[in-house]
Amino acid sequence: MEKIIGIGNALVDILVRLKEDSLLEQMQLPKGGMTLIDEAQQRELRTCMQGLQVEQSTGGSAGNTILALASLGASVGFVGKTGRDALGRFYAESQKAAGIDARLLQCDLPTGVANTFISPDGERTFGTCLGAAATLQASDITPALFEGVGLAHIEGYLVQNHDLMEAICQTAMEMSVQLSLDLASYNVVAADLPFFRHLVQDYIDIVFANEEEAAAFTGQKNPMEALRQIAALKCLAVVKLGSKGASARLGREEVVVSAHKVPVVDTTAAGDFFAGGFLYALNRGASLKECLSCGALLSEHVIGVVGTKLPEEEWKEISVQCSMFNVQ
């Protein structure tokens, strides 16, 4: 299998389960979205979270996808930026323990934090203080980061730094590395739509989106029509349909798989783990249907726990199921 790296915001997730959504309204955080906050807002959030039960884990969209791939035994790495602090050490040590080739850069700002608020219905809302992660810049991207790599998976949250994204895409192309892009969040897509379209048209080989992100990208509320519009840009398009399953289209081949009904505890990383399962199967030569099924399998497991920590025995079970998909 070719090595896959993730490029994204190296964030530590601070997970908070809410009994109701008033805190989101108080902090002006749109439910289900990702909102960037500054240090002052981060301090205010910490005050609001006092007395609430919190959990800590490594996070970031691309980081979660790479964690899922590593847990399946894939050869993976991660490129991001942390601070020289306790959270930065926690992030690096956690990646190393998971078997991830952590290609982490450092700076003097605090390590970024994703405050993840889990509503009673399982929906998650992010208030993200990027800190050191935001200092990843075009000059940090070198050919050496792509050595031995077959595919680089990029999170859409990086799109807000146009120079950085151009450097990633151009360097990857020079190194003959394929690119996949997760559209990240509907409000991020809507805020920078022309640049997103430029990236997909000119660089991206694989696009992951949920229904809302696909609608924001295409202006098409029908997810299947959105899928076809994205695929028409000469990429492999994947649109996740939530409880209805997932769809993919490459050229004239279009596939849909249904979802199993499973208890929802927390939707954090559901899309990220889906991308991990899909890319794992794709990298092993599986069919589009098998790739979708593998992605759905990982997503169904991770929504049953808070955060991204699945027991080792559960990963063994998942790996056995993934091994049943045909490979070339």
Residue 259, pLDDT above cutoff 90: no
Interatomic CA distance for residues 207 and 248, integer angstroms = 10
Give yes or no for a contact between 151 and 236, defined as CB atoms under 8 angstroms apart.
Answer: no
* pLDDT mean over 15-25: 87
Task: Name residue 73's beta-bridge partners.
Answer: none
Residue whose C-alpha is closest to residue 42's, from 102, 89, 87, 94: 87
pLDDT of residue 34: 81
Of the two residues 171 and 300, the one the predictor is more confident about is: 171
Both tokens of 134, joined, read 């935001």
In one-letter notation, the amino acid at residue 296 is: A
What's the confidence (pLDDT) of residue 266? 66
Query: Is the per-residue pLDDT at 328 higher than 50?
Result: no
pTM: 0.88
The architecture (CATH level 2) of 3-8+61-90+99-104+138-323 comes to 3-Layer(aba) Sandwich (3.40)
Residue pLDDT, tens place only, 226-238: 999 999 999 999 9
Residue in the structure block whose two tokens are 């730094």: 161
First to last CA, the chain: 11
Kindly tell me the burial class for residue 20, based on how many C-beta atoms sit within 10 Å of its own C-beta (0-12, 13-18, 19 or more): exposed
The per-residue pLDDT for 153 is: 98
- Give the pLDDT mean for 183-191: 91
Longest dimension (CA), the chain: 54
130, HSE (Cβ side, Cα atoms, 13 Å): 16
Q: Are 310 and 217 in contact (CB under 8 A)?
A: no
**pLDDT at residue 101, rounded to an integer:** 95
Residue 118 has pLDDT above 70, yes or no: yes
Structure confidence at residue 62 (pLDDT)? 96
Reply yes or no on whether the pLDDT at 271 is more than 50.
yes
Percent of the chain with pLDDT over 70: 98
Which of 275, 267, 223, 281 lies closest to 247, judged by CA? 223
Residues paired with 17 in a beta bridge: 118
> What pLDDT was estimated at residue 94?
94
CA distance 71 to 319: 8
Q: Say yes or no to pLDDT of 327 above 60.
A: no
- Give the per-residue pLDDT at 326: 57
Q: Which helix (H) or strand (E) holds 206?
A: strand 206-210
Mean of the pLDDT values across residues 17-27?
Answer: 87
* pLDDT tens digits along 169-182: 999 999 999 999 99
Report which residue type is found at 46: R
- Residues 157, 167, 89, 72: is their CA dihedral positive or negative? positive
Q: What percent of the chain is predicted at pLDDT more than 90?
A: 64
Closest CA to 34 of 259, 186, 144: 186
CA angle in degrees (0–180, nearest 5) for 135-139-141: 95
